[in-house]
Structure 1
Amino acid sequence: MSAYDTVLFDLDGTLLNTLDDLRDSVNFILERYGCPTWEGAEIRPFLGNGIRRLMELAVPGGAEHPRFKEMFEEFRVYYTAHCEQKTRPYPGVEELLRELKERGLRMAVVSNKNHEAVEELGRRFFPCLSVCVGQQEGLRRKPAPDMAESAMKALGAARDRTVYVGDSEVDFQTAQNAELPCILVSWGFRDRREIEALHPAALVDDPQMLLKELTR
């Protein structure tokens, strides 16, 4: 019998490559307000702590910018409406999820992205995932354990049979705070050396390696 029957997945950088849509949405707002824009490689380190933190890092002056509040609200609305333009699952991810479902594992997405966008992306790309938890009122964002625990409750999952899969230090810290083992993937938004230094339960380089770790 596998060590796990429930898998909690991070979304951005783990299941979906969302970098281009996030960059384009950030730059759309920055251009509207006369601010300099960013390249994808430059914005990559900003990801993982939710869209507010993304905008705080992308906007000159961050939250102290005199128009930050309206810029952030416009970004949230614009990104939700345009989150599917260039976003795609990483190669092999859809096959991985189908295989896990066929083997009877329960799965959920736990993301610092705003909840509306998480639900929209879940419906579009991963209909086999019945539970999608994004940033929303009443739940502290990752690395607090609230979202992971909310997903586990919705799935009826036991903590000692649940594993968390992500691509960043935020995911690693979330798993620790939720008292879950953490598997990190190397294809996401952080360099392999950076996440290797965290010493996760496993570090995998492709979805087939991940499948083996989840079903061993």
Structure 2
Amino acid sequence: MKPKHQPDAVLFDLDGTLLDTAPDLGHALNQVLRAHNRPIKRNAEIRPYASHGSHGLLKLGFGADFNDENRLTLRQQFLDFYEQHVCVDTRLFDEVTELLQQLQALEIPVAIVTNKPTLYTELVLQQIPPLAAIGVVVCGDTLKVAKPDPAPLLHACERLQASNANSINPANCLYVGDAERDILAGRQAKMKTVLANYGYIAPEDDVASWRADFAIDSPLELMQLLVDRG
């Protein structure tokens, strides 16, 4: 069913929204924990924090022992391992391929806006064909600022505009993500925000306080949302 009122574009976060990267991020964390004779973490413990980046995961693993003295060393150990094992068990979330196909059929432009550094983003995307086909990808180090600053989202709109004949107005775009910084960035960019409830949300996260405009429990629910909005 075609929406009566289509968004100019749909922008997506990557980890926890399009890709389930928690297994490989967890492997990297546990590799560092083993190297320092620390107990490893179970996947169920790691998963809710997988969107928190290397800093958040190392904090989960080392607790108060993750401090200014060892922060840089531990982070580099984490990233070195992750770079070599970036897409071992990483997979698209169920329904993502179908969602992207349906958006393409409606000629709705899409982009990825992630805080993941370019190096690791490119290593992952080149192994995931449906995402490798997305032409506009803004990473955590593309600009001088990252989410929750709205600039990366606005930059993605500018790049989409450059490759599309139709106008791309941020106020008529959707941003889909699973973290508070995603919703904050989207709101500050004047976009409609969609919380991916199926992503990496920690027990202590007060998602109601994030004030997302909409929430979805699976990727394809986004299509029903577009129809309902129409």
TM-score, normalised relative to structure 1: 0.87
Distance (Å, rounded) in 2 between the aligned partners of 1:19 and 1:59: 18
The structural deviation recorded for 1:26 is 1.0
The structure with the largest strand share of the pair is: 1
Instruction: Report the AA paired with residue 54 of structure 1.
Output: L
Distance (Å, rounded) in 1 between the aligned partners of 2:174 and 2:38: 41
Q: Percent identity?
A: 28
The ranges of structure 1 where at least 4 consecutive aligned residues each deviate by more than 4 angstroms after the TM superposition are 191-194
Change (3 A) 1:201 1:170: same
Q: Partner residue of 1:151?
A: 156
Identify unmatched segments of 5+ residues in structure 2: 162-167
Contact 2:184 2:210 in 1 (8 A): no
Q: Partner residue of 1:206?
A: 218
Distance (Å, rounded) in 2 between the aligned partners of 1:128 and 1:211: 20
Distance (Å, rounded) in 1 between the aligned partners of 2:209 and 2:69: 39
The structural deviation recorded for 1:86 is 0.7
Contact 2:98 2:220 in 1 (8 A): no
Contact 1:50 1:141 in 2 (8 A): no
Change (3 A) 1:62 1:183: farther
Matched, 1:2 2:5: yes
Distance (Å, rounded) in 2 between the aligned partners of 1:18 and 1:93: 14
Tell me which structure has the larger Cα radius of gyration.
2
Instruction: Report the AA paired with residue 164 of structure 1.
Output: Y
- Choose 145-154 or 6-15, whichever is displaced more: 145-154
Contact 1:8 1:110 in 2 (8 A): yes
Instruction: Report the AA paired with residue 148 of structure 1.
Output: L
The structural deviation recorded for 1:48 is 2.7
Q: How large is the Cα RMSD of the aligned pairs?
A: 2.4
Distance (Å, rounded) in 2 between the aligned partners of 1:165 and 1:149: 14
Structure 1, residues 137-157: CA drift from partner, whole Å, max 9, x if none?
A: 643221111221222222123
Distance (Å, rounded) in 2 between the aligned partners of 1:191 and 1:130: 31
Q: Partner residue of 1:98?
A: 101
Matched, 1:118 2:121: yes
SS of aligned partner of 1:207: coil
Aligned residue-pair number: 216
Contact 2:118 2:142 in 1 (8 A): no
Q: Partner residue of 1:72?
A: 75
